Amino acid sequence: MIEILITEQVSNQRVDKFVRKQLNLAPLSFIYKLFRKKDVKVNHHWVTIDYILQSSDVLQIYVTEEQLAEFDKPKPLIKTTFNHQIVFEDEHLLIVNKPSGILVHGDASEKRKTLANEVLNYLYGKGEFDPSTKGFTPAPAHRLDRNTGGLVLFAKDLMSLQTLEALFKDKDDIAKYYLALVKGHTPNEGTINSNLSKDSETGTVRVDENGLNAITHYQRLEIIGDYSLLKVQIVTGRTHQIRVHLQSINHPIVGDPKYGDYNLNRKLNRLYGFNHQFLYAVEVSFQDVPKPLKYLSGKTFAVSLPLEAENLLKSLKNLEEKHD
């Protein structure tokens, strides 16, 4: 059993959300089964999932050490086909074109089915990674949202990972560009400089003068009917930055379920079957890169939009032509 004294700092939140954070490796089905079996109690009394924790409450979660150990077990690696586009690969680096709908890393809702795990399976199958040696585990140098597609860079050794992380942190010698389709007609170009803060409970981000500095540049590439196709570059790398910034200037990203136009999203899903945000990391450029990745200096890697996105653009252009 796990017993936790609720402090003032973590009070005033739903008990199920708190339990999910405590058992962050457990599947959601297991956590809600605990509530159904009345294995979650507060002050020795069973509570429902919507109970609001109070300061000085004593939370009891009836879970065994064996169950906790089982959740913490890494997924066994298997030699399998890698189904995603590999844009570049050598002994130091792997650049993958991530499809929309898959996490880069695991989170509270999904631990196993991630791009990182698929990359490890791929490298294991090639004989380039063996977890039994306890050596370096290849890892992504940055993240994309689950529903953002595009380029993700994985490092195969520690020095390469540290180099890439430093590049993404400083931003001076690396530039990453996105394509976004947004509602309405934007100016030809612009810069959005608005601080952002994240609500740890809901996972949503909002413009907040007391938040972290965030800067987004955009250039309008094309007007398509009632929409604008933008090329976007972020100077900072805040959570949901592009999505929130574009929403804040009344040009939300098409298909964005969290910050977009709900009615518009429903319409595009019904008419064209497009059901996620139109945001793709399509290009990454390097300038002066230190060793061991110095050979990347001056190089650019780019991918095309996926077929689903291209089809949506074609459909919207055809609709516009019919109205002309």
Active site residues: 145
Backbone dihedral region for residue 225 (phi beyond 0: left; psi -120 to 50: alpha; all else: beta): left
Report DSSP letters for 64-110, one per residue: -HHHHHHHTSPPPP------SEEEEE-SSEEEEEEPTT-BSS-BTTB
- Comparing CA positions, the residue from 76, 309, 77 lying closest to residue 179 is 309
Cis peptide before 306 (omega within 30 of 0): no
The set of long-range contacts for 71-80, using a CB threshold of 8 Å and a minimum separation of 24, is 71/23, 71/25, 71/26, 71/30, 72/25, 74/131, 75/112, 75/117, 77/120, 77/121, 77/124, 77/129, 77/131, 78/121, 78/124, 78/125, 79/121, 79/124, 79/125, 80/121, 80/122, 80/125
Rounded CA separation 218/239 (Å): 17
| Residue 54 token pair | 């109070």
Rounded CA separation 271/254 (Å): 13
Tokens 């913490």 correspond to 72
